[in-house]
Structure 1
Amino acid sequence: MEASSSRSRTGSAALKRRRGVGASAGSGSTARSLNDDILRSVFSRLDDHFDLARCSAVCNSWNRIIETAHLMRDLYYKSNPQARCSSSNISMKSYFEELAMDDHASSFSRGPAEVYQWIGHPMRATLCRMKSGSILTGVGDKILRLWSAESCRFMNEYNVPNAKTLVDFDFDENKIVGLTSSQLCIWRRSEPRSIFQSGGASFNHGLCMSYADPEVVIGCEDGRAFVYDMYSRSCSGIYRLHSSPVTCLTITDDHLIVGGSTFGNIAIADQTSGQNLGVLKSAFAPLAIRCLSFNTNSQLIFAGSSPGYAHCWDLRTLRPLWETRVSPNVIYSAHHLPGDTATLAVGGIDGVLRLICQRTGETIRSIVVDADRPAESSSRDRRLIEKKCVRQVAPDARLDNIPRRLRPQITSLSVGMKKIVTTHGENYIRVWKFRPKSS
């Protein structure tokens, strides 16, 4: 009921922004008293796609009116007259995806932001992942915990079997996959106990993993990558990537394994042919690669390294596009929203959350928690959630002048639509939420 009322208020607010709506409803009337014809007329006056989408999400009757009147399609054609031509290759789906990405990038670069912080683990959490509106956190104690990215509500927890220590994990809409130094563990999203544990003979000293159903690729201390098939529950391939430990991994849609090392190189192996395709190198002295992120849309590989450099290579040519020192110290994590080709988020030991341009490597924005502005708090699920303001960090600012409590090291981050979740090696979790500048 509370969620429905909230959606109704959001939709009504979108309607009230249109001139004359209040007069047509009459004093004391509500949106529920309007018949379909009046609502259809009101909805047709909306000229913002997001307002129309919010109205369609209020209730089934509003969604039916908007769908049957083809209002979203008409607004699309109004914004793109060329799309009416049969020769046009612009699809409505791609158009609205582009609108969403523009709104996301604009919110990151110019919009106001606030931070929601809560204690999420008994001891500490060093890693986080965010997908489809859910956040998974852990590593540091013996549990993984799942949260709602929107409400920060606790959803479920998963116990690591045999008191083993996780070193990495990932998840999707159905399952959670965790890596210890010698085993894989798999949970169903709906069950707290693991449903599978792999044997320990396939690999030893696993350091990192990348998961793309049905495969998990494990990077090991000896420089090899093991491909584990979860359906056959066996190792399906072993690849020699480096002569030094594999520090981070990612898998591409073309079945390529990309792995970083402590010596500063990034190796690429093809699962289809079993061959190593090449090595990406930095123009600077050997730099330990600490994190990787691959953009499927642009075929760009991003990395963060120990001296604070952010790197970008083109996977198609295996050539570097830019290398920029964005931080004075280690970058632990770099990530971007799937489909976004504009903004990359990076964080590390100095505790500053930076948003940089994927095309040039230039820093767009640097932010930390603001101590001078009062924070709010609320209680949800018997947990105290603090709402904190943020402030910009000037490019030439001395970080020594910013207290460490306002910029604890960022051990991991993950990007969602207009939000970023961070962990800090402590027991609390932060979600940074961004809004469009005009909102």
Structure 2
Amino acid sequence: METTASAGAAPVKKRRRAPKTTVEALGNDVLSMIFTFLDLVHLIRCSAVCKSWSTVIRKLKLLQIQYHKQQHAESGSVSDVSNLSETSINRQMEQLAMDRQRLSLQEGPVDVFKWKAHSVGFSKCRMKMGLILTGVGDKVMRLWSAESCKALDEYRLPDKAPLIDFDFDEGKVVGLVGTRVCIWRRVGTRDLFCSREGLFTRGLCMRYVDPHAVIGCEDGKVRVFDMYSRKISQIIKMHPGAVSSLSFTDEQLIVSGSSLGSISISDLSSDQHVATLETTGSSGIKTLCLSPSYSVFAGSSAGYASCWDLRTLRRIWETRVSSNVLYSMHHLNNDKSTLVVGGIDGILRIVDQNNGQVISRCILEENRNISNRRPTDNNNNKKGLLVERKKGIRLSEDERIDLMPNLPPIQCLAVGMQKVVTAHNDTDIRVWKFSS
């Protein structure tokens, strides 16, 4: 028989959960103590997380100290750390980081972390500053931590118009939504701006480098949207056919690929067409990316990867890396050695930037888990997000790809430090982590 508390009994007080401590709550003194325990590579990665961490590391000269220790351990000689300039240290650090990046992508062990990111299939992903933005499929973009796999934020579309493409930086998320541009603020007041409908003919792709969003359209023109005036500031004719892919640099250089197979270059500052790159055959250009060393890389619908030197406008190499469509290619910004390519066959390929040679091919081994599914805290899911850790395997040179079971196509990929994130037009995101 049930009993009830007497009328005079004191009500039971619910225990309040203590608020979670965030990394922003740590003072510089605590961060300084933590950073002194890290080795050189981890210090480099921490200095790239945010400006406040970079400032703490720089003021303590931790990079110089750790670099000095490593050089002393390798050579046995003693040098004065005070003689090492910050510029010299930064140059050495960058080279060390790029060497580690190349080795890990080329031959290191691979773990793949996989979890459900959307309720329906999504086909786009971007990765910057250790953050991943995913979307296109449902009416929301989601921001994730590449390291912890946690959901950090989401950005919902204002209406039924389709999300076509997007990009982001520290302060904004910019989306190509139907025939307009939408801007979500990431910091401060979380407001949303949407331009008027019909701002341009049907857009197919977009790239964003503040203060411009460059939109490739079905009519072969590129529209330049200015973030401050919030208007189309320039319209540049690039191709007789639809603009299928774009790349846009800090130097205001626009490189666009066409569904008809041509590649055009325009200078945004002068509003002038600069050149047209010579391509082989009539297969459409599906993906483009640029390097700081003035190289442009392209992937075609026939499986060809190509490289041109923008200074001479000459093709350096062309390789048929796949028998079918290449959907996406990307590389770390300062990496001059490796290029990551994905396409319809679902194989993640590592290509040498200098000659186009495929130096490694990776797939996800679906039938074996390294560990059980583990829950991860998620603001949008109180039960926790289930993350599977699986093994990535490297294929041998003589492995018959045509005899392998069908793999989900790699629709889009993005490259970070010893990481690659892939979208496959299904509900799961995959983060490939490469170890040295």
Measured against the shorter chain, the TM-score band is 0.7 to 0.9
**Hey, what does 2:29 align to over in structure 1?**
none
Q: What TM-score do the two structures reach when normalised by structure 2?
A: 0.82
- After superposition, the Cα gap between the structure-2 partners of 1:64 and 1:94, relative to the gap in structure 1 and judged at 3 Å, is closer
Do the aligned residues in 1 keep the contact of 2:64 with 2:81 (CA within 8 Å)? no
Matched, 1:138 2:135: yes
1:5-84 superposed matches below 5 A: 49-50=40-41, 67=61, 71-72=65-66, 74-75=68-69, 78=72
**Percent of counterpart pairs with the same letter?**
45
**Hey, what does 2:317 align to over in structure 1?**
322
Amino acid in the other structure paired with 2:294: Q
> Deviations along 1:54-105, whole A, 9 cap, x unmatched?
9999x9xx97997489623634775799999999997111111111111111
Looking at structure 2, the residues matched to 258 and 83 of structure 1 have their Cα atoms a distance apart, in angstroms, of: 46
**Hey, what does 2:435 align to over in structure 1?**
435
Which residue among 323, 334, 352 is the counterpart of 2:347? 352
- Structure 1 gaps, min length 5: 5-30, 33-39
**Hey, what does 1:176 align to over in structure 2?**
173
How far off is 1:383 after superposition? 1.5
- After superposition, the Cα gap between the structure-2 partners of 1:321 and 1:155, relative to the gap in structure 1 and judged at 3 Å, is same
How far off is 1:363 after superposition? 0.3
Do the aligned residues in 2 keep the contact of 1:159 with 1:193 (CA within 8 Å)? no
How far off is 1:287 after superposition? 1.5
Which residue among 283, 297, 304 is the counterpart of 1:302? 297
Looking at structure 2, the residues matched to 68 and 206 of structure 1 have their Cα atoms a distance apart, in angstroms, of: 47
- After superposition, the Cα gap between the structure-2 partners of 1:300 and 1:123, relative to the gap in structure 1 and judged at 3 Å, is same
How far off is 1:357 after superposition? 0.4
- After superposition, the Cα gap between the structure-2 partners of 1:163 and 1:75, relative to the gap in structure 1 and judged at 3 Å, is same
Amino acid in the other structure paired with 2:404: I
Looking at structure 2, the residues matched to 55 and 383 of structure 1 have their Cα atoms a distance apart, in angstroms, of: 25
Looking at structure 2, the residues matched to 67 and 357 of structure 1 have their Cα atoms a distance apart, in angstroms, of: 34
Matched, 1:412 2:419: no
Could you say what secondary structure the match of 1:365 adopts?
strand
Could you say what secondary structure the match of 2:329 adopts?
strand
Could you say what secondary structure the match of 2:369 adopts?
coil
- After superposition, the Cα gap between the structure-2 partners of 1:74 and 1:89, relative to the gap in structure 1 and judged at 3 Å, is closer
**Hey, what does 2:421 align to over in structure 1?**
421
Structure (1 or 2) with the greater helix fraction: 1
**Hey, what does 1:257 align to over in structure 2?**
254
Which residue among 376, 394, 397 is the counterpart of 1:395? 397
**Hey, what does 2:282 align to over in structure 1?**
286
Do the aligned residues in 2 keep the contact of 1:264 with 1:281 (CA within 8 Å)? no
RMSD, aligned CA: 3.3
Amino acid in the other structure paired with 1:302: F
Do the aligned residues in 2 keep the contact of 1:158 with 1:193 (CA within 8 Å)? no
**Hey, what does 1:269 align to over in structure 2?**
266
Paired residue total: 392
- After superposition, the Cα gap between the structure-2 partners of 1:106 and 1:335, relative to the gap in structure 1 and judged at 3 Å, is same
Could you say what secondary structure the match of 2:305 adopts?
strand
Looking at structure 2, the residues matched to 411 and 430 of structure 1 have their Cα atoms a distance apart, in angstroms, of: 12
Could you say what secondary structure the match of 1:253 adopts?
coil
Which residue among 155, 160, 164 is the counterpart of 1:158? 155
**Hey, what does 2:388 align to over in structure 1?**
386
**Hey, what does 1:216 align to over in structure 2?**
213
Q: What TM-score do the two structures reach when normalised by structure 1?
A: 0.81
How far off is 1:394 after superposition? 2.4
